[in-house]
Amino acid sequence: MESARMINSLKKLGLTEYEAKAYIALLEHGEADALEISRRSGVPRTRIYDILSKLESNGFIQGLKGSRPTIYIALPPSHTLKPLKDSIVKDLENTLNDLEQLYLRNSSPQRYNVWLFRGLQAYGTALRLIDEAQESILVKIVYLPHEILENLWSKLRKVKADGIDVYLILDAKILSTSMPKKRMMELVKEFNAKILNSLIPLNGLVLDFKQALLLYVSPNLPQNPFAFLIQDIGELGQLIKKHMIDLM
């Protein structure tokens, strides 16, 4: 089993299977002539001389001069394989660098899967996302109808009790027109929420920093919301996560 592993490793370095077997046989048993190496390694006699000649020309083994028949010895692996390994590593690094440059020159900007929801489906999607959280949920509330808000608080309490990290941001400017200040302060205390004045009047949810939902609700037309669900937000999710950790 160990020999098979070593043979495969040598093949990855460019040796043929017969060359690897002959070289390992010499390493295991010391000096030997061609016929003995053939017997120990399983390399056919019709091929052994050609195989040994290639190994010798590549610096893996050495034939002792003056011996009849020729006796071969294996040269130390540290002497024979290190230059080969260094050459392969260098070639791999150069190839990797070339491929990376090719990728950077021709790669397209990251694309996102975006879904649009309107009306009650927009509210339902937002509430469903909370139920699907596995690690964390970030919720930013600018304005939501009272019934949707109460449903949302209930779901946030449940996922928080289940050990999900809840990050809550409340927009003081708009929420204060539809929610008593005392009630808002209770929510701030309950969820360790942050109060901010948003420049953009959008509600938002970020699920496990992997999916994001942007929900627009007009206080004048709460029955006509629309939402954009963005899946697989990639690096953007990590940037949001870092920002929230700093903020909290």
pLDDT in tens, 135-176: 999 998 988 888 998 999 999 999 999 999 999 988 876 666
Same fold, 2-76 and 113-247: no
Give the mean pLDDT of 177-201. 79
Domain segments of the chain: what residues? 2-76, 113-247
Residue 173 is predicted with a pLDDT of 67
pTM of this structure? 0.52
Each residue of 14-62: pLDDT tens digit? 889 999 999 999 998 888 999 999 999 999 999 999 999 999 998 899 9
Residue 55 is predicted with a pLDDT of 92
Phi and psi at 163, nearest 5°, equal 95, 5
| Report for 80-84, 86-90, 179-183, 216-220: range of highest mean pLDDT | 216-220
Options 1.25.40.340, 3.30.470.20, 2.60.120.430, 1.10.10.10; CATH for 2-76 is 1.10.10.10
| Report for 119-133, 183-197, 198-212: range of highest mean pLDDT | 119-133
Give the mean pLDDT of 127-133. 92
User: How far apart are alpha carbons 166 and 143 in whole angstroms?
Assistant: 18
Residue 106 is predicted with a pLDDT of 61
**Contact indicator for 227, 126 with CB cutoff of 8 Å:** yes
User: How far apart are alpha carbons 231 and 206 in whole angstroms?
Assistant: 10
CATH 3.30.870.10 is held by the domain 113-247 = yes
Strand order in the sheet with 203-207: 113-118, 221-231, 211-218, 203-207, 136-141, 165-171, 194-196
| Report for 103-117, 122-136, 200-214, 216-230: range of highest mean pLDDT | 122-136
Nearest to 37 by CA among 57, 59, 12, 20: 20
Task: Flag whether pLDDT at 246 surpasses 90.
Answer: no
Percent of the chain whose pLDDT exceeds 70: 88
User: How far apart are alpha carbons 216 and 117 in whole angstroms?
Assistant: 11
Q: What is the CA radius of gyration of the chain?
A: 35
